[in-house]
Structure 1
Amino acid sequence: MRRTLCWLFVGLLAACQAQSTQPVTATKKEVDMKNDANKVQKLKFTGTVKYKSFEGGFYAIDTADGGKYHPMGLSQEHRRDGLIVEVEAQTVPDLLTIQQYGTPIKILSIKVLDDSQISNKDNRM
């Protein structure tokens, strides 16, 4: 019985180490998804500037439909939690941030629509 179990175990180990002889290739859909993710996209949206206190603290822009954007180089005058803005921006593909929040964007233009909802959350940045 022991010998049978030992041979069974050796057989399982050998099976786990077997390698496939078929080359690994990406499907057309996977390639298209990767290419789309690397393209710069132009955006226009209305959102609320929000101060996020995690990962050292940073400002984000959230939209009413659930969009989350991480603006790179948001100007000092727009770093006010609760500020409602209209933004024209472009995505910054292949950029990873330590915050890992939303889509990184470069703001092309920003217009204040409403500043009556501003809170005192860390507006010093």
Structure 2
Amino acid sequence: MTAFCVFGISKSLCKKSAEKKQETFEMVDGEGLFLGKRVRRNISIQEWAARRDALAATMFAETERRTQISPKFDAPQFANDWINSARSEVRDCIVMARGEKFDKHGGSIIKGGAPVMTWVEYDPAKAAEFGPLK
């Protein structure tokens, strides 16, 4: 059963997102026949890569939204090992576990006769209350 994963912000996902957002052209003022109009100017691959890297660095530094950045694991210690191995490429990491989704009043959300499962923050102290599995 894969019930644990890591949520956080990674440089590689920021770079992928920056690749999609960075345009391959820029709008400039026209000359000659196009005087007074805005025209497209294609940018070089090196210029595009530099802009993409700058945008990715900005996204990595400023974004607050965590997303799933690791594969799913069978135990929380594997998620912690993954965090330790990727320390230079990620930030704001948190271990998440599969759990029930609750509404604002604390009641479990039921769909199709079963509780809705989602990723919730893993709390080792809460897990210890249940004792070892038998």
Q: Provide the TM-score with structure 1 as the length reference.
A: 0.21
**Higher relative contact order (CA closer than 8 Å, sequence separation 6+):** 2
Q: Provide the TM-score with structure 2 as the length reference.
A: 0.20
Computing the radius of gyration from Cα coordinates, the structure with the larger value is: 1
- Larger helix proportion of the pair: 2
- Larger strand proportion of the pair: 1
